[in-house]
């Protein structure tokens, strides 16, 4: 069991650029979650997938954000036209379909300059 | 509206002492209450979790106490060690068809040698 992996670990981009992050969940997990964590705060839910279906999106997920999980395995989170307020740690977690335990990856730290 | 309130914001404990972190929730539909440990630059790691049908759960030096009527739960770390120094987050979810976690704002624990 290799755990949840995320790439890249760090990303620095200029305001207005697009960025894409990747998450590889634990292989047998059906559910995949994206969270955002800003400094000094707990993670905040963005969206989640069950297999390839995106079942819920938070109001935090503006139109500039899009997430996919095309084959029910890895997922990507894209942010278009980045803003300084998008600077945060983006965390991915996975779980079994009917399991409660969510296991987090190491996160991708985004800095928008 | 903050659905999970965590206190204290920071905590300093001597090595060998007991660390106690408290959380309160509002949504009576929550049925899963995990605690996560997070080191700087890392993703949250699941530490211990409880369901509302039990009042206490112990795993090693970590114990969750749960008070359903008061809508409160707490984490106790016995024999605290310098290696326990981290940020701890409580969380709650309704599981089932949703399952996204609602996190508290975190408690930064420092264990002094």
- Work out the pLDDT band at B32, boundaries 50, 70, 90: very high
pLDDT at residue A99 is higher than 80: no
- The confidence score (pLDDT) of residue A98 equals 73
Q: In this structure, are residues A105 and A8 in contact, taking their beta carbons and an 8 Å threshold? A: no
Interface of chain A toward chain B, CB-CB under 8 angstroms = 4, 6, 31, 33, 35, 40-45, 48, 55-56, 58, 91, 93, 95, 98, 100-107, 109
Kindly write down the DSSP assignment for every residue of B48-85, as one continuous string. EEE-TT-SEEEETTEEEEEETTTTEEEEEESS--GGG-
Residue A82: CB atoms within 10 Å: 21
pLDDT in tens, A36-91: 999 999 999 999 999 999 988 998 888 999 999 998 899 999 999 999 999 999 99
pLDDT digits (tens, 9 = 90+) for B61-110: 999 999 999 999 999 999 999 999 999 999 999 876 667 899 999 999 99
| Minimal Cβ distance to B49: which of A42, A98, A101 | A101
> How far, CA to CA in Å, does B1 sit from each of A42, A44, B35?
14, 13, 21
Question: Do the Cβ atoms of A52 and A73 come closer than 8 Å?
Answer: no
Distance CA B44, CA B47 (A): 9
Chain A interface includes B102 (CB < 8 A): yes
The partner residues of A32 in beta bridges, in order of sequence, read: A49, A94
What DSSP state is assigned to residue A41?
S
What integer best gives the mean pLDDT of chain A? 94
Amino acid A60: pLDDT = 85
The reported pLDDT for the residue numbered A72 is 85
| pLDDT of B38 strictly over 60 | yes
Query: Distance between CA atoms of B107 and B113, rounded to whole angstroms?
Result: 19
């Amino acid at each position: 069991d290799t755990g949840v992996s995320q790439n890249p670990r760090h990303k620095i981009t200029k305001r207005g650029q697009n960025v894409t992050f990747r998450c590889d969940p634990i292989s047998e997990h059906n559910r995949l979650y994206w969270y955002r964590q800003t400094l000094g705060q707990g993670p905040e839910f963005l969206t989640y997938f069950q297999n390839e279906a995106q079942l819920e999106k938070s109001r935090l997920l503006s139109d500039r954000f899009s997430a996919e999980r095309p084959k029910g395995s890895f997922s990507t989170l894209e942010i278009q036209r980045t803003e300084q307020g998008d600077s945060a740690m983006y965390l991915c977690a996975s779980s079994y379909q009917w399991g409660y335990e969510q296991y987090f990856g190491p996160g991708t730290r985004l800095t928008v300059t | 509206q903050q659905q999970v309130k965590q206190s204290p914001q920071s905590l300093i404990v001597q090595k060998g002492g007991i660390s106690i972190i408290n959380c309160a929730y509002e949504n009576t539909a929550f049925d899963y209450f995990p605690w996560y440990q997070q080191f700087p630059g890392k993703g949250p790691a699941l530490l211990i979790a409880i369901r509302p049908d039990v009042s206490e759960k112990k795993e090693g030096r970590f114990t969750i106490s749960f008070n359903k009527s008061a809508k409160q739960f707490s984490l106790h770390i016995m024999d605290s060690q310098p290696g326990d120094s981290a940020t701890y987050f409580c969380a709650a979810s309704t599981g089932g068809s949703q399952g996204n976690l609602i996190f508290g704002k975190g408690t930064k624990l420092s264990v002094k040698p």
